[in-house]
Structure formats: C-alpha cells, structure tokens
Amino acid sequence: MRIVVLIVSVMISMYGKDLFLMTEDLKPYNYLEKGELKGVGTEVVEKVLTNLGYEDKTIRVYPWSRALNILETNERAALFSMSYTKERAKKYKFACPVSEAQVFFFVKKGRGLELNSLKDLKSHTIGVVQDFGSHKYLVQQGFKDLDYSSSTKVMVQKLLSGKIDTFVAAPFSVYALDLDISKVEQSKLKLYSTELCIGFNKAFSDSEVKRWQDELEKLRKNGEYRAIYKKYIQKEGS
C-alpha cells in the first residue's frame, strides 16, 4: 500500500500545482471575453489539463514577448498557442497542435499594392508582432525593414494610418478584432501555414511532454478537436 501511495504522490507533484501555464490575448485562438478565457487553443488545453489530472488549471494571460521571457527562465513554464519552427525546437519542447493557422500579408484597400511573391515586398515596410513566428521567419528570409508591434490590433491601426505598407497575420486573428477592418484587405500572398502548439521549457521531462502529445492526438482522433475548431473558426483563410 505504501508503494501505491508513493506513486500517487509523485504523480500529483509532477503534474500538479507547479505548472506555470501561459497564453496571450489573440482572438479566436486564445482570448479574454468579459473576464473569461476562451478560444480554440484555450478549450483544447483545458481538456488536456483535465484529462491528465493537473491539480492547478490556472492559465495566465501575458503579452507575447513577456511570455517568451518567462518561458525561457521558468523551468515549469509552458506557453500556447505557439508556432512550431525548427529554430524554436532548439530552445523549447513542443506538443502539437492545439490549433492551426495560415499566415497572409494584409494591405490597405485602394492602395494598389499587389503582392505576388516575397520579392514584391523588398521596398515596403512590413508590420510584424515582435517575436511571433512570422517575425522570425521574415528575418531569416533577409528582411530588415520591419516595423514591430505588440499585437495584431496595433498593426491594423498602423496600416490604416499609413505608418506601414503591409503586415502579416493569421486571417482570423484580423477578422476577430473589435475594429472596423472594411479598409483592410487580405492579399493573395501567403507567408506559410503552421501548427500552433504548446511550448515547454527545455527542463520539462520528455515523458511529461509525451503525455501532452498523446492527449492532443486523442482529441484529434475522437473528433473533439475538430468540434472545438469549428466552434470558433468556420472557414480557413485561402
């Protein structure tokens, strides 16, 4: 009996109170509405927390750059919804996906700015959310004239005021904003498609991350993931 009690005690300690879980406010993936945290990623992560028996299910909402700093310094920190990249895989461990996204360039209607390839952007100022996967991707592609913002909402405001020529974002993160976006147009140019995952500090054990991965796969197989996704996102950007 002592052995059983010991095993239970270890499990509670490992998957219990000491998880420092974070997200950002980015509708429709994870966002605050009247004080309640909602979104595709939020509901998926909450199901995993319950299925794995985590005692503390607190999810903290921070600006993205701050959350990344905590993820790098807190050994029990985890962050979603985070684009998976090879560069990030060197710094964090991942379980995927909690949601999915396609990332496009947006322009101001009537501007006459036609984008067909990344070459068309070399002479234009591009808006990015600092430290997002799209920011890192463009830097890797050699882009230097980037304008940094703290959120997608700020990028839209800069585009409409003429401070930037274009910006990159997942379409539904733009369409879900509480702004008049009638003068904002999604271009045909897609930067990439990505899985949005939960990133863990490297100190997490491989076995714990695998448990998350296994649960995410179960949600996809039993249809729960698709039901949550359709609840918030009716149609993919194209």
Domain ranges of the chain: 2-100+196-232, 102-193
Closest-CA residue to 109 (of 201, 182, 197, 20):
182
Place 145 in a pLDDT band, splitting at 50, 70 and 90.
confident
Backbone angles phi, psi at 102, to 5 degrees: -115, 145
Q: What is the tens place of the pLDDT at every residue in 67-97?
A: 999 999 999 999 999 999 888 999 999 999 9
Q: What is the pLDDT of residue 176?
A: 85
Tell me the Ramachandran region of residue 25: left when phi exceeds 0, alpha when psi lies from -120 to 50, beta otherwise.
beta
Question: Cα(121)–Cα(114) distance, rounded to whole angstroms?
Answer: 10
Place 59 in a pLDDT band, splitting at 50, 70 and 90.
very high
Q: What is the pLDDT of residue 170?
A: 92
Q: What share of the chain in percent tops pLDDT 90?
A: 76
Place 15 in a pLDDT band, splitting at 50, 70 and 90.
very low
Q: What is the tens place of the pLDDT at every residue in 178-231?
A: 899 999 999 999 999 989 999 999 999 999 999 999 999 999 999 999 999 888
DSSP secondary structure code for residue 88 in this structure: H
- Given a cut of 70, whether residue 57 has pLDDT beyond it is yes
Place 122 in a pLDDT band, splitting at 50, 70 and 90.
confident
Q: What angle do CA 45, 46, 51 make, to 5 degrees?
A: 95
Round the average pLDDT of the chain to a whole number and report it. 89
Paired tokens of 152: 């997608």
Q: Would strands 77-83 and 184-201 be described as parallel, antiparallel, or unpaired? A: antiparallel
H helix intervals, 129-187? 133-140, 152-161, 171-175
Place 234 in a pLDDT band, splitting at 50, 70 and 90.
low
Mean pLDDT confidence for 109-131: 92
Q: What is the pLDDT of residue 106?
A: 97
Q: What is the pLDDT of residue 172?
A: 86
Q: What is the pLDDT of residue 230?
A: 87
CATH architecture of 102-193: 3-Layer(aba) Sandwich (3.40)
Say whether 102-193 and 2-100+196-232 share the same fold: yes
Taking residue 233's Cβ as centre, other Cβ atoms within 10 Å add up to 21
Question: Cα(132)–Cα(139) distance, rounded to whole angstroms?
Answer: 11
Place 144 in a pLDDT band, splitting at 50, 70 and 90.
confident
Superfamily of domain 2-100+196-232: Periplasmic binding protein-like II (3.40.190.10)
Residues in the chain: 238
Query: Would you tell me the crossing angle of helices 224-232 and 206-221 to the nearest 10 degrees?
Result: 80
Single-letter residue type at 121: L
Radius of gyration for the chain, computed over Cα atoms and rounded to the nearest angstrom: 19
Contact 185, 109 (CB under 8 A): yes
Paired tokens of 213: 């991965």
